[in-house]
Amino acid sequence: MRLNEWRFLVNSDLYRYAGKTSLLIFLEHIVLTPGFKYTFLMRTCAYLDQYRILRYSLFPLVLILLWHYKYKFGIDIPYKTKIGSGFYIGHFGGIVVHQEAVIGRNCNISQGVTIGVSNRGDRKGIPFIGHSVFIGPGAKIFGRVVVCDNAAIGANSVVTSDVPERAVVVGNPARVISHTGSDGYINEIDY
């Protein structure tokens, strides 16, 4: 990841929270918005870890901050997780994402979400989350499942099979109840 790519990712994340970007808005959100603060540190660790000189100088300091906020905010998303631009954490607390999971652009994650591995069965593996996906509070996504673009996962749903594009799923196990998708849940994506 180059410096320009890191800057783009941080600005796109900030835009999802504020609808605009500036130094003042950045400072406001880095101080007052736990989701943005965590995402900023996560992206910064991923950037610093690539360059040998930075890996042995600034990286350990930023990683310690990331660990601190991991426990303070209850967000466990490893910095090596592949996450597209415009990532938005609606509320902090109880968020766990496997480091090999892939999350697309403009995704919203709410509190209590788990995106994890399944170690057995037909769906053994890691989830793939498409672009513009809304994941509601308490949702659990396990195993080698694909959540297609513009899908919405309802609160407390347990997803163990693929979710079609623009589907809204709810329940345990999650089932499709409509095809209105994530419209209205994913905002501020014109960065």
Question: What is the CATH number for 118?
Answer: 2.160.10.10
Please say whether the beta carbons of 130 and 149 come within 8 A: yes
- Would residue 160 count as lying in a domain? yes
82 pLDDT higher than 90:
yes
Looking at every residue in the chain, the average pLDDT score rounds to 96
- The string of pLDDT tens digits covering residues 35-44 is 999 999 999 9
The pTM is what?
0.92
In a domain, 175, yes or no: yes
Rounded Cα distance between 183 and 107, Å, is 12
Task: Give the chain's domain count.
Answer: 2
Last residue within a domain, chosen from 79, 108, 126: 79
Q: List the one residue out of 113, 78, 108 whose CA is nearest residue 94.
A: 113
Residue 85 lies in a domain: no
How far is it, in rounded angstroms, from Cα 181 to Cα 166?
Answer: 4
Together in a domain, 75 and 98: no
Q: Are residues 103 and 46 in the same domain?
A: no
Structural domain ending residue among the three candidates 79, 111, 133 = 79
Pairing of strands 168-170, 152-153: parallel
Predicted confidence at residue 191, as pLDDT, reads 87
pLDDT score recorded for residue 121: 85
Of the candidates 154, 181, 157, the residue with the CA atom closest to the CA atom of residue 167:
181
The tens digit of pLDDT for each residue in 88-144 reads 999 999 999 999 999 999 999 999 999 999 988 888 999 999 999 999 999 999 999
Domain span holding position 69 = 1-79
| CA neighbours closer than 13 Å in the CB half-sphere of residue 125 | 10
Q: 128 lies in a domain?
A: yes
How does residue 1 score in pLDDT terms, banded at 50, 70 and 90?
Answer: confident
Among 134, 130, 171, 163, which residue's Cα sits nearest to residue 149?
130
Q: Tell me the CA distances in angstroms from 80 to 24, 92, 109, 142, 144, one per residue in order.
A: 28, 19, 17, 19, 19
Looking at the fold, whether 39 and 98 belong to one and the same domain comes out as no
Q: Which residues are registered as beta bridge partners of 146?
A: 128
- Given a contact cutoff of 8 angstroms between Cβ atoms, the answer to whether 124 and 146 are in contact is no
pLDDT value of residue 120: 87
The reply to whether 166 and 123 lie within a common domain is yes
Pair 72, 98 in one domain: no
Domain C-terminal end among 54, 79, 104 = 79
